[in-house]
Amino acid sequence: MGACRDTLVPPAGPPGPDPAHGEAGYTVARYQCTARRADLQCVETEGGAGAAGQPRRIILGSGRVKLTSFNVVYDSVAQTLSADITVQNLRTHPIGTADGTNVAFIKAFFHEGPRVTAYKAPGDTGTVTVANADGTCNCSAANQPYFNYPEILQPNQISAVKNWRWHIPPTVNTFAFVLYVFTRYPGEVDIAATPPDTVPSSLYDASKVVKGDTSDSGWFLRDVVLMGFRPGTSAEDRLAAVNWTNGTVVGGMRIGSGGIYFVRVPDDGTGAPLRLALSRLARLPQVAPAGSTWSLPG
């Protein structure tokens, strides 16, 4: 997914509060989906209404967005499953725009899969692929297919219909995938191409210093990740990376034409959110090697 800040609801728990809008602010939705010929069922897996584990044609998005599928058809000649899918904005502010006027993006991307979960007979093989993706993004991993809804959706507005298709060989019985929605909303802060050349005083907070643990023998701050980007990284990919940590840029250090961003991540007192952020960043090709920060002198 928060937008990854309306970008990605993380599997490990809900995103932190969005001060600008008073609601969860960094991703939009997570869906676990399974499909058969002539059927598409998705279970909203993080919050939202409805009984846990109950499949439905209407895909609920944790009170933030809703994807609705209809006209689900399997073409046995072309070996494709198709579905018409809309996005509805359930938030209290527009999505699909950074300034309220210009269109940005609303990307429903495949965080996991599609992967085969059952074949028709023992020994069968074959893979399921997205047949008509609008492109790929480095949103939570490399080269993830997505479907884009290039619209500004006001609160409660429903998008135009988009047809999704998957290629399914005849040997496949069912397959599954996980979707996230990555979009923009007004007031969301862009991640500049060069980091701020500032070190906030909060990075000297001794109460946040960990003097070695099972994952790192050095001294580091348990709520700050150091992050750099590879040359040529787009503004969208920078935003996806920072949002995927559920973090906020709080400072940085310029080095040549680039540098290191100081990204504050949630702190539960254990350092677990920091380790989760580092593991997520390791999957993103646009991120130069990320790490935990040290206790700064002073």
Q: Please tell me the distance from the alpha carbon of residue 44 to that of residue 61, in angstroms, as a whole number.
A: 6
- 219 pLDDT band (50/70/90 cuts)? low
Stronger pLDDT, 76 or 161, i.e. the higher one: 161
Q: What is the pLDDT of residues 237-256, one digit of tens each?
A: 999 999 888 888 999 989 88
Kindly tell me if the per-residue pLDDT of 184 is higher than 70: yes
- 293 pLDDT band (50/70/90 cuts)? low
Q: Do residues 207 and 126 both lie within one domain?
A: no
Residue 193 lies inside a defined structural domain of this protein: no
Q: Do residues 207 and 153 both lie within one domain?
A: no
Q: Do residues 174 and 264 both lie within one domain?
A: no
Residue 190 lies inside a defined structural domain of this protein: no
Q: Which of 153, 183, 213 is at the close of a domain? A: 183
Residue 191 lies inside a defined structural domain of this protein: no
What CATH number should be reported for the domain holding residue 276?
A: 3.30.70
Q: What is the pLDDT of residues 74-92, one digit of tens each?
A: 888 999 888 889 998 988 8
Residue 71 lies inside a defined structural domain of this protein: yes
Q: Do residues 119 and 224 both lie within one domain?
A: no
Stronger pLDDT, 262 or 3, i.e. the higher one: 262
Q: Do residues 216 and 104 both lie within one domain?
A: no
pLDDT of residue 210: 66
Residue 189 lies inside a defined structural domain of this protein: no
- Parent domain of 286: 201-292
Residue 105 lies inside a defined structural domain of this protein: yes
Contact 80, 170 (CB under 8 A): no
pLDDT average, residue stretch 52-67? 49
State the pairing for strand pair 258-264/224-229. antiparallel
What integer best gives the mean pLDDT of the chain? 76
Q: Please tell me the distance from the alpha carbon of residue 266 to that of residue 6, in angstroms, as a whole number.
A: 17
Q: Do residues 213 and 134 both lie within one domain?
A: no
Q: Do residues 176 and 48 both lie within one domain?
A: yes
Q: Do residues 18 and 153 both lie within one domain?
A: yes
Q: Do residues 31 and 136 both lie within one domain?
A: yes
Kindly tell me if the per-residue pLDDT of 9 is higher than 50: no
pLDDT of residue 181: 87
Q: What is the pLDDT of residues 98-149, one digit of tens each?
A: 999 999 999 999 988 888 888 889 999 999 999 999 999 999 999 999 999 9
Residue 212 lies inside a defined structural domain of this protein: yes
Q: Do residues 134 and 45 both lie within one domain?
A: yes
Q: Crossing angle for the helix pair 272-281 and 235-244, nearest 10 degrees? A: 150
Q: Please tell me the distance from the alpha carbon of residue 286 to that of residue 43, in angstroms, as a whole number.
A: 31
Number of domain units in the chain: 2
Q: Do residues 177 and 260 both lie within one domain?
A: no
Contact 249, 197 (CB under 8 A): no
Q: Do residues 99 and 70 both lie within one domain?
A: yes
Q: Which of 138, 157, 183 is at the close of a domain? A: 183
Percentage of residues in the chain having pLDDT higher than 90: 34
Most confident of 12-26, 206-220, 249-263: 249-263
pLDDT of residue 14: 32
Q: Which two structure tokens, joined as six digits, stand for 82? A: 């198709």
Of 11-20, 40-49, 224-233, the one with minimum mean pLDDT is 11-20
Residue type, 172: V
Q: Is the pTM higher than 0.85?
A: no
